[in-house]
């Protein structure tokens, strides 16, 4: 039996998000395998309590992030108080997922505890304080580079009031470079170097992180999905091909790309639906003008019915989305996927189960439209029925077990 501590800050472990869903599922899977498991999350509770799934959970004032900020906290006292929680628990191994709020000193001092640890890379926070690598102009920056990052995370960007005001008024702040992100990443470089293993969730994530921290020990680890265990429901019939996008309609999630696809698709043969939240009214207007059927927010128990009425899933982020679980939901339900060639998506989607395109290329956007236009509902459903399932949480837990064992015996 191994005593495992998962660190996942910023959100309560029960928050319905990709990383928290993953941590919750992993913790319960490891518990079922006979381990002792605890989660330090971003929740309100500051004493250890038993989660309904059986593992122990608590929050901390540092891990409970009130609002997003580009400042890197340097309060050593706060970092030490988080370290005290780890010391008191005395885990055999710590698995980091999100560390927003713990402070720069935490990375410097954690290795001194002598506890083996691994780090899962679910996003880009550990080299990009903006998390998504979407820069101050709201465009994909392409990856870390010292002077570019110092200009993007500038002096004024770290003043929360100015950053929020500029965003609200759509006014870019003047560029005054700051070395704070460089100093922060130098500390995190040592934190990576002392880790037993760094676990990017996709090959592209490893590629990007290696640019900033080339000396760490990386192993790509695809997460398991509970959707691989769900019964595969038979698709309902439809005269038109039904394309479905899920989640949040926003710039980062590809609202403009989705609208561009919808405008060009033949509406007598193809319909495009969106289930989820609209980030800003302008994206809703853009979608409606393109002929997209906005179905509104959905609950988790609505998803099986939505997938039954989907012939082709659509996932078109314009940021390097690490390992979108919506793609896993689509594929495990027997639904081929049309997606942008971004982030971790190519690890899961290729010509055997979908179609990838570069949204920045007019020729590739046209090819994506031609692909969807040529696909009949019957052919899409037959194709989907033949798709294999992806890894389950138990498969992933066994893989992690081997990595943990190596970390503990190193």
SS (H, E, C) the chain: CCEEEEEECCCCCCCCCHHHHHHHHHHHHHHHCCCEEEEECCCCCCCCEECCCCCEEECCCCCCCCCCCCCCCCCHHHHHHHHHHHHHHCCCEEEEEECCCCCHHHHHHHHHHCCCEEEEECCCCCCCCCCCCECCCCCECCCCCHHHHHHHCCCHHHCHHHHHHHHHCCCCCCCCCCCHHHHHHHHHHHHHHCCCEEEECCHHHHHHHHHHCCCCCECCCCCCCHHHCCCCCCCCCCCCEEEEEEEEECCCCCHHHHHHHHHHCCCCCEEEEEEEEECCHHHHHHHHHCCCEEEECCCHHHHHHHHHCCCEEEECCCCCCCCCHHHHHHHHCCCCEEEECCCCHHHCCCCCCEEEECCCCHHHHHHHHHHHHHCCHHHHHHHHHCCCCCCCHHHHHHHHHHHHHHHHHC
Cα distance between residue 118 and residue 121, in whole Å: 10
Architecture of domain 227-385: 3-Layer(aba) Sandwich (3.40)
Cα distance between residue 7 and residue 37, in whole Å: 11
Class of domain 3-224+393-409: alpha beta
Parse the chain into domains and list their residue ranges. Answer: 3-224+393-409, 227-385
Report pLDDT digits (tens) over 80-137: 899 999 999 999 999 999 999 888 999 999 988 999 999 999 999 999 999 999 999 9
pLDDT of residue 393 exceeding 80: yes
pLDDT of residue 328 exceeding 90: yes
Q: By percentage, how much of the chain surpasses pLDDT 70?
A: 99
User: In the predicted model, what is the mean pLDDT of the chain?
Assistant: 93
- 3-224+393-409 against 227-385: fold identical: yes
- Mean pLDDT for 322-334 is 93
Q: Strand 56-58 to strand 49-50: parallel, antiparallel, or no bridges (unpaired)?
A: antiparallel
Angle at alpha carbon of residue 18, lines to 235 and 262, rounded to 5°: 50
pLDDT of residue 214 exceeding 80: yes
Report pLDDT digits (tens) over 135-164: 999 899 999 999 999 999 999 999 888 888
- Mean pLDDT for 392-409 is 92
First to last CA, the chain: 17
- Mean pLDDT for 346-367 is 97
pTM, full prediction: 0.92
């Amino acid at each position: 039996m191994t005593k495992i501590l998962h660190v996942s800050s910023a959100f309560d472990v029960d928050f319905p998000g990709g990383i928290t869903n993953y941590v919750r599922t992993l913790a319960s899977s490891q518990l079922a395998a006979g381990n002792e498991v605890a989660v330090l999350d971003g929740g309100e509770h500051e004493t250890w309590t038993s989660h309904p799934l059986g593992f122990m959970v608590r929050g901390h004032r540092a891990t409970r992030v009130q609002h997003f900020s580009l400042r890197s906290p340097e309060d050593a006292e706060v970092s030490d108080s988080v370290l005290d929680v780890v010391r008191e628990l005395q885990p055999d191994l710590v698995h980091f997922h999100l560390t927003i709020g713990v402070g720069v000193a935490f990375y410097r001092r954690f290795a001194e505890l002598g506890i083996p640890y691994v780090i899962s890379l679910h996003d880009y926070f550990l080299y990009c304080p903006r998390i998504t690598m979407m820069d101050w102009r709201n465009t994909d920056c392409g990856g870390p580079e010292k002077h570019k990052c110092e200009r993007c995370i500038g002096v004024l960007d770290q003043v929360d009031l100015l950053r929020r005001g500029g965003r609200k008024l759509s006014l870019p702040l003047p560029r005054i470079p700051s070395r704070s992100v460089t100093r922060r990443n130098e500390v995190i470089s040592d934190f990576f170097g002392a880790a037993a293993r760094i676990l990017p969730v996709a090959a592209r994530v490893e590629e990007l992180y290696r640019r900033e921290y080339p000396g760490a020990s990386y192993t790509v680890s695809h997460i398991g999905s509970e959707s691989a265990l769900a019964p595969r429901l038979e698709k309902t019939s439809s005269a038109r091909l039904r394309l479905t996008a899920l989640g949040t309609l926003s710039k980062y999630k590809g609202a403009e790309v989705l609208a561009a696809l919808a405008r060009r698709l033949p509406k007598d043969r193809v319909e495009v639906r969106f289930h989820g939240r609209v980030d800003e009214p302008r994206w809703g207007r853009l979608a409606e003008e393109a002929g997209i059927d906005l179905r509104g927010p959905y609950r988790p128990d609505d998803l099986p019915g939505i997938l039954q009425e989907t012939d082709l899933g659509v996932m078109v982020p314009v940021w390097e989305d690490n390992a979108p679980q919506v793609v896993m939901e689509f594929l495990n339900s027997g639904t081929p996927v049309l997606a942008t060639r971004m982030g971790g998506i190519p690890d899961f989607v290729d010509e055997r189960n979908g179609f990838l395109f570069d949204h920045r290329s007019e020729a590739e956007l046209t090819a994506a439209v031609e692909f969807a236009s040529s696909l009949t509902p019957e052919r899409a459903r037959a194709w989907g029925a033949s798709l294999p399932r992806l890894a389950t949480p138990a498969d992933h837990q066994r893989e992690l077990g081997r990595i943990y064992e190596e970390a503990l015996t190193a």
